[in-house]
């Protein structure tokens, strides 16, 4: 019954998603929507081939939301006709659809992705499972991406071939590291590394299918080669031998994404980063400027939330989102989840936002970069280098460096403050007063989103002259506030936290 109902639902979805784009004048439609033709072309690709935009890449300026690639038609086709077919057919389907999307959006510039994929295959085959192959991959792929940024960068966000290439870069670096781990003794690997280590030798077709998978080529999410191969083998289903019962979970994420889309569409003409650069903003009162930055900082992230929720629905529909079963035997569909919406909306800490936002990219950096720096013997240094890598991966604009520098500073100070409150008897008692909890929460959320907006200002305005103008207008409040706390909190700790000997006497 369930399978029949899902089949009928899929048929209805397929009919409902058949758009007559060929009858539209893209230029006229884009003009009427306030977007560029290239932006509209990308949106069409997104709705025909599941992609989502990675955290960190700034959006084009248009009332049309850059929604995440919701490739529901292709996902439905895959479920119905290819789910248990020969693996070479599935790889060909993913490669062909990905190349078609690349050509539609970027024309002959698709050769950039094709060249890097072939180069990566040759590196794996010629250098084998060696650290040399890993280092070569990192230098070649990151070098190619950074060269692309250097040659194409402007003062605004432009939709060009580097947008999907940054996603591809992480995929290919992760592929090389997993392939290297596959040649090690399993006992020498961590439990996490054992899951991702590639024991076999990927063919060129497998690497191409993995790289061009229509549900992630343009803007993510990140997933491993092993997880992709499970999809190809038909293992990612809650009902072995049948297509996954994932239509309803997929539609739930789509519906939630559309709620964010509607909210963003209604508010986007009124809350923009352009206003931060206007004379009206600069001439407003200090508190007005801070409150606008707070509201904008919260709102600007909703376009990413929409993208990831809609794309997650596509991944769930194909089966790629299957993540086993919970303790009650219920299927989990969060393997490709990039958002924890409830945590994002309710947690008053910066670390809560980091844990709930762009989850797969953060997990990639943790797995392939941060944890691999363990030999440095310094967790803070490893974290700083990881954030530097993320900043460069996003682009060469100074705004990215400032944004991730602020994240680094804020997280350190937040941890210091949390440790101080936990260890200080006086502060712990104050923090536990029930009647004051709403006040604490309101203060925390205000600080949280004000300085999230402060960090995102540099991220979205890109260039030094723009973000510097805004920061000057609020007297570099974020830097002053957190740098002051960074130096003051250790002294406060000495006063507020008794020594262990005193604590023992008190007990």
464-476 confidence digits (pLDDT tens): 999 999 999 999 9
Question: Of 418, 417, 411, nearest to 488 (Cα)?
Answer: 417
For residue 66, is pLDDT > 60? no
- What pLDDT shows up at residue 42? 52
Question: Measured between alpha carbons, how far is 83 from 318 in angstroms, rounded to an integer?
Answer: 8
- pLDDT tens digits, 127-182: 999 999 999 999 999 999 999 999 987 767 677 899 899 999 999 999 999 999 99
> Which of 9-13, 281-285, 302-306, 389-393 comes out lowest in average pLDDT?
9-13
- pLDDT tens digits, 435-447: 999 999 999 999 9
- What pLDDT shows up at residue 493? 92
Question: Of 103, 213, 106, 216, nearest to 158 (Cα)?
Answer: 106
Catalytic residue among 358, 362, 397, 448: 358
Question: Measured between alpha carbons, how far is 467 from 412 in angstroms, rounded to an integer?
Answer: 23
Catalytic residue among 91, 112, 165, 394: 394
Helix (H, G, I), strand (E, B) or coil at 220: coil
358 carries an active-site annotation: yes
Question: Of 403, 391, 422, 390, nearest to 460 (Cα)?
Answer: 403
DSSP string for 326-388 = -TTS-B---TT--B-HHHHHH--SHHHHHHHBSHHHHHHHIIIIIGGGGGG--HHHHHHHHHH
Percent of the chain with pLDDT over 70: 84
Quickly state the pLDDT bin for 307 (edges 50, 70, 90): confident
Tokens of 238: 């809650």
Mean of pLDDT over the chain: 86
For residue 415, is pLDDT > 80? yes
CB count in 10 Å sphere of residue 29: 15
Report, as an integer, the average pLDDT of 109-118.
Answer: 96
Quickly state the pLDDT bin for 358 (edges 50, 70, 90): very high
- What pLDDT shows up at residue 451? 96
The pTM for the full model equals: 0.84
- What pLDDT shows up at residue 17? 47
Length of the chain: 507
For residue 302, is pLDDT > 80? yes
- pLDDT tens digits, 239-289: 999 999 999 999 999 999 999 988 888 888 899 999 999 999 999 999 999
105 carries an active-site annotation: no
């Amino acid at each position: 019954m369930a399978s029949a109902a899902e089949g009928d639902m899929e048929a209805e979805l397929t009919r409902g998603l058949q758009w007559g784009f060929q009858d539209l004048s893209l230029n006229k439609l884009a003009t009427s929507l306030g977007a560029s033709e290239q932006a509209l072309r990308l949106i069409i690709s997104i709705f025909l081939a599941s992609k989502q935009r990675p955290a960190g890449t700034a959006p084009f300026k248009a009332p049309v939301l850059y929604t995440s690639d919701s490739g529901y038609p292709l996902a439905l086709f895959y479920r119905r006709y290819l789910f248990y077919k020969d693996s070479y057919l599935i790889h060909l389907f993913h490669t062909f659809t990905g190349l078609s999307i690349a050509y539609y959006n970027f024309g002959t510039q698709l050769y950039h992705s094709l060249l890097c994929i072939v180069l990566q295959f040759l590196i794996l085959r010629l250098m084998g499972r060696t650290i040399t192959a890993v280092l070569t991959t990192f230098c070649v792929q990151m070098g190619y991406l950074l060269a692309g940024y250097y040659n194409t960068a402007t003062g605004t966000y432009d939709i060009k071939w580097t947008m999907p290439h940054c996603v591809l870069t992480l995929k290919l670096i992760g592929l090389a590291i997993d392939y290297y781990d596959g040649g090690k003794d399993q006992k020498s690997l961590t439990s996490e590394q054992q899951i991702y280590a590639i024991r076999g030798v990927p063919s060129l077709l497998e690497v191409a299918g993995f790289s061009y998978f229509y549900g992630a080529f343009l803007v993510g999410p990140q997933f491993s080669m092993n997880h992709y191969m499970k999809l190809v083998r038909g293992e990612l289903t809650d009902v072995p031998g049948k297509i996954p019962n994932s239509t309803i979970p997929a539609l739930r994420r789509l519906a939630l994404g559309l709620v964010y889309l509607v909210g963003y569409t209604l508010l986007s003409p009124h809350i923009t980063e352009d206003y931060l650069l206007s004379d009206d903003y600069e001439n407003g009162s200090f508190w007005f400027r801070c409150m606008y930055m707070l509201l904008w900082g919260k709102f600007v992230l909703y376009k990413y939330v929409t993208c990831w929720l809609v794309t997650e629905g596509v991944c769930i529909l194909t089966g790629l989102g299957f993540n086993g079963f919970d303790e009650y035997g219920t299927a989990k569909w969060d393997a490709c989840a990039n958002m924890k919406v409830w945590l994002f909306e309710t947690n008053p800490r910066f670390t809560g936002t980091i844990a709930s936002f762009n989850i797969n990219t953060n997990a990639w950096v943790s797995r392939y970069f941060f944890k691999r720096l363990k030999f440095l013997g310094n967790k803070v240094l490893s974290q700083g280098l990881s954030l530097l890598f993320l900043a460069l991966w996003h682009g060469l604009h100074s705004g990215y460096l400032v944004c991730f520098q602020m994240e680094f500073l804020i997280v350190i100070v937040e941890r210091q403050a949390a440790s101080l409150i936990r260890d200080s008897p006086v502060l712990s008692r104050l923090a536990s007063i029930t009647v004051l909890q709403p006040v604490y929460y309101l203060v925390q959320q205000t600080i949280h989103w004000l300085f999230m907006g402060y960090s995102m200002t540099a991220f979205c305005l890109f260039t030094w002259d723009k973000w510097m103008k805004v920061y000057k207008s609020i007297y570099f409040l974020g830097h002053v506030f957190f740098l002051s706390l960074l130096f003051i909190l250790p002294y406060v700790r000495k006063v507020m936290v008794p020594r262990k000997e005193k604590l023992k006497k008190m007990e």
